[in-house]
């Protein structure tokens, strides 16, 4: 049996080898907010307890089997032990203390993390759609999609809602997870502790393109955040002739039926607000880089990029698509 047992260590070894290299941009183990850090304190505590118990049980099991293997030469049966009340009490009562050691920080963190946000928090209304996210900053007058900007070190209060199916808002390094449930408002509050872009993804099965419902939170310095807010608040720049022609194409093809571009007549709230879509790094809910080729591909055949996409295939000609693409790129 020895070779079999050695084989069992193989997966462990391979996993550790695989674990050594590489980036893990969505790793829950790298906490970059007060919320996720407090979670990892509890996680660490449980981890060490479970590791101890793991070694105890597996070690005990393997040792017992090795020590008490039958030799085939026994002449009598082993002693017929039926139990031991003291041992039973020990392993019934000892775990209570371990569980208390886990339960106390658990309960206090539950209540702290679910307490109401402070009054000066930046509020964001996050709305889950099939399959993208709308982000509205009600106090700042900003509406955007799939890319949420937040200031470093300041409390952010996200109000999570859905008007369709269930979704779950998850940026592992900043927010942990909370569902978007039709008919309810859920809350996440956190303070980001590191600048940069943090990836997120819907974590509740929501239909065909659940796997393609991605988003990100960009943590800016407070100054950059203020600049971003100013830029987002402004209506779209519609002065240039080129953009006039582009908007005409946008309008005549039917895009206006679902999308809003502030400063123009396009005002529908069915699809993402495109007022400043050119300033986002990704399109189609975080799955394609924001460039001309991708925009064209996306609007010409939405169902190909995103199975079941609610964006209607408008049967655009290549020329129409080019001119709409050029226009969208001007919406910085």
Partner 1 sequence: MATPAAVPHTPAVGHSASPSGLWSWLTTVDHKRIGILYGLSALAFFVLGGVEGLILRSQLAVPNNDLVSAPLYNALFTMHGTTMIFLGVMPFSAAFFNYMLPLQIGARDVVFPRLNAFSYWLFLFGALVLNVPFLIQPFTQGIDPSSALAPLTRVIPDGGWFGYAPLTTKEFSPYLSIDFWVAGLQILGIASMAAGFNFIVTILNMRAPGMTFLRMPVFTWMTLVVQFLVVLSFPCITVALVLLLMDRLFGTHFYISSAGGDPLLWQHLFWLFGHPEVYILILPAMGIVSEVLPTFSRKPLFGAPFVIFSGITIGLLGFGVWAHHMFTTGLGAAADAAFSVTTMLIAIPTGVKIFNWIFTVWGGQIRLTTAMLFSLGFVGMFTMGGLSGIMHSSPPVDLQQQDSYFVVAHFHYVLFGGAIFGLFSGIYYWFPKMSGRFLDEGMGKIVFGTVMLGFNLTFFPMHFVGAWGMPRRIYTYDEGMGWEQINLLETVGAFILAFGVLLFIISFFRSMKNGLPAGDNPWDASSLEWITTSPPAVHNFDKTPTVYSDRPVWEKNHGPGPGYSLPEGDEHIHLPPPSIKPLIGAVGVGLFLTSFVLLNLTNLALAVTALGLALTFYSFYTWFLEPGH
Positions in 40-79 near partner 1 (CB under 8 A): 42-43, 46-47, 49-50, 53-54, 57-58, 60-61, 64-65, 68-71, 74, 77-79
The residue (of 99 and 312) whose beta carbon lies closer to partner 1 is: 99
Tell me the closest approach of the beta carbon of residue 45 to partner 1, in angstroms: 9
Looking at residues 80 to 109 of the shown chain, list those that interact with partner 1 (rule: CB under 8 A): 80-84, 87-88, 91-92, 95-96, 99, 102-103, 106-107, 109
CB of 198 to partner 1, least distance (A): 10
Among 141, 147, 182, 282, binds partner 1 (CB under 8 A): 182
Which of 121, 140, 203, 258 is the binder for partner 1 (CB under 8 A)?
203
Q: Which of 250, 252, 253 is nearest to 261 (CA)?
A: 250
Q: How far is the CB of 105 from partner 1 (least distance, A)?
A: 8
- The phi and psi torsions of 192 (rounded to 5 degrees) equal -75, 145
Binding residue for partner 1, selected from 141, 195, 197, 205, defined by CB under 8 A:
205
Rg (CA), the chain: 27
What distances in angstroms separate CA 42 from CA 32, 46, 50, 100, 193, one per listed residue?
15, 6, 12, 12, 19
Site string for partner 1, 303-332 (x = CB under 8 A): ----xx------------------------
If binding is defined by CB under 8 A, does position 194 make contact with partner 1?
no
Q: Which of residues 250-309 bind partner 1 (CB under 8 A)?
A: 287, 307-308
Give dist(CA 237, CA 227) in Å, integer: 17
Burial (CB count within 10 angstroms: exposed 0-12, middle 13-18, buried 19+), residue 186 = middle
Nearest to 268 by CA among 229, 307, 227, 312: 312
Q: Please identify, using beta-carbon distances, which residue of 115 and 195 lies nearer to partner 1.
A: 115
| Cβ-based nearer residue to partner 1, 156 or 236 | 156
- The CB-of-309 to partner 1 minimum distance in angstroms stands at 11
Q: Which of 41, 35, 28, 40 is nearest to 190 (CA)?
A: 35
Closest CB 126 distance from partner 1, rounded Å: 13
Number of Cβ within 10 Å of residue 96's Cβ equals 10
Question: Rounded to whole angstroms, how far apart are CA atoms 131 and 212?
Answer: 7
Among 33, 34, 38, 132, binds partner 1 (CB under 8 A): 38
> b/e per residue, 38-61, with b = 16+ CB within 10 A?
bbeebeebeeeeeeeeeeeeeeee
Q: Which one, 81 or 239, has the nearer CB to partner 1? A: 81
SS3 77: coil
């Amino acid at each position: 049996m020895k070779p079999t047992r050695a084989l069992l260590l193989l997966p462990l070894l391979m996993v550790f080898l695989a674990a050594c290299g590489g980036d893990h941009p969505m790793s829950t183990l790298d906490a970059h907010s007060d919320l996720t850090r407090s979670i990892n304190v509890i996680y660490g505590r449980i981890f060490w307890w479970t590791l101890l118990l793991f070694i105890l049980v597996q070690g005990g099991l393997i040792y017992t089997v090795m020590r008490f293997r039958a030799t085939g030469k026994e002449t009598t049966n082993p002693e017929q032990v039926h139990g031991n009340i003291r041992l039973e009490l020990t392993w019934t009562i000892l775990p209570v203390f371990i569980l208390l050691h886990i339960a106390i920080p658990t309960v206090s963190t539950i209540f702290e993390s679910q307490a109401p946000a402070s009054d000066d928090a930046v509020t964001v209304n996050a709305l889950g759609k099939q399959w993208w996210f709308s982000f509205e900053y009600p106090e700042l007058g900003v509406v955007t999609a799939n890319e949420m900007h937040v200031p470093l070190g300041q409390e952010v209060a996200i109000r999570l809602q859905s008007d369709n199916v269930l979704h779950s808002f998850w940026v592992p390094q900043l927010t942990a997870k909370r569902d978007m449930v039709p008919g309810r408002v859920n809350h996440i509050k956190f303070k980001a502790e590191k600048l940069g872009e943090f990836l997120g993804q819907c974590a509740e099965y929501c239909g065909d393109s659940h796997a393609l419902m991605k988003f990100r939170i960009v943590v800016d310095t407070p100054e950059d955040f203020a600049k971003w807010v100013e830029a987002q608040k402004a209506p779209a720049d519609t002065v240039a002739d080129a953009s006039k022609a582009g908007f005409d194409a946008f309008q005549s093809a039917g895009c206006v039926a679902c999308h809003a571009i502030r400063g123009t007549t396009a005002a529908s709230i069915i699809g993402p607000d495109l007022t400043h879509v050119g300033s986002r790094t990704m399109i189609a809910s975080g799955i394609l880089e924001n460039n001309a080729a991708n925009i064209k591909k996306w609007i010409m055949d939405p169902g190909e990029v995103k199975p079941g996409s609610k964006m209607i295939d408008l049967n655009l000609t290549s020329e129409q698509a080019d001119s709409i693409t050029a226009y969208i790129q001007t919406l910085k």
